[in-house]
Amino acid sequence: MGKKGREVVEKAGVKVDELINMLKKAYADEWIAYYYYTLLAKLVKGLESPAIASKIEEIAKEELEHQGELADRIIQLGGEPPKRFEDLVKIANCPYVTIPENLGDLKAVVKAIIEAEGCAIQVYTNILNWLMSIKNDPVTFHIVRHILQEEVEHEDLFETILGE
């Protein structure tokens, strides 16, 4: 735990426990996205599925990176990430990705990912807005801004694949 890091943030007026709670929920979202994206990459079918699966796997790795960044920040602030997987689903802002019945319908798969990325974009936008209102935690702000930027890129990538 980063005692001085937490102390500095608290003295700046940040409600650290509230921030940790928001970060834990986002952490849960990232694990869930990683799970579903990895699963979809393995299950998609059809002529174009290898290319789509490759992109989904690429994004899944970034979601895993995000959960690591969030876990580090949660710990730096004196919190602990959830220890039980079932707790992730309970606290997540975005607890599932809609998996289409027909995994050969790549358009539906891509739309499901776009929907999931949209949820992530909203979550990180909300956290950033909260952080901007207090203006006193540049470290968390930088981490969340970086993740938001990548989530926007993910959404854009899959919208481009879809032809939107």
CB 64 within 8 A of CB 128: no
In the predicted model, what is the mean pLDDT of residues 45-56? 92
* Local confidence band at 43 (pLDDT 50, 70, 90 cut-offs): very high
Q: Across the chain, what does the average pLDDT equal?
A: 92
Distance of alpha carbon 130 from alpha carbon 23, whole angstroms: 12
Please report the pLDDT score of residue 2 as a whole number.
Answer: 67
pLDDT tens per residue, range 121-161: 999 999 999 998 887 788 999 999 999 999 999 999 999 99
* Alpha carbon 118 to its chain's center: 10
From 80, 79, 101, 94, select the one nearest 32 (Cα to Cα): 94
* Local confidence band at 50 (pLDDT 50, 70, 90 cut-offs): very high
For each of the domains in the chain, give its residue range(s) and CATH number, in order of start.
Answer: 3-162 (1.20.1260.10)
How crowded is the C-beta side of 38, counted as CA atoms within 13 Å?
A: 11
pLDDT at residue 1 is higher than 60: no
Number of other CB atoms surrounding residue 41 within 10 Å:
20
Amino acid of residue 110? V
How crowded is the C-beta side of 12, counted as CA atoms within 13 Å?
A: 17
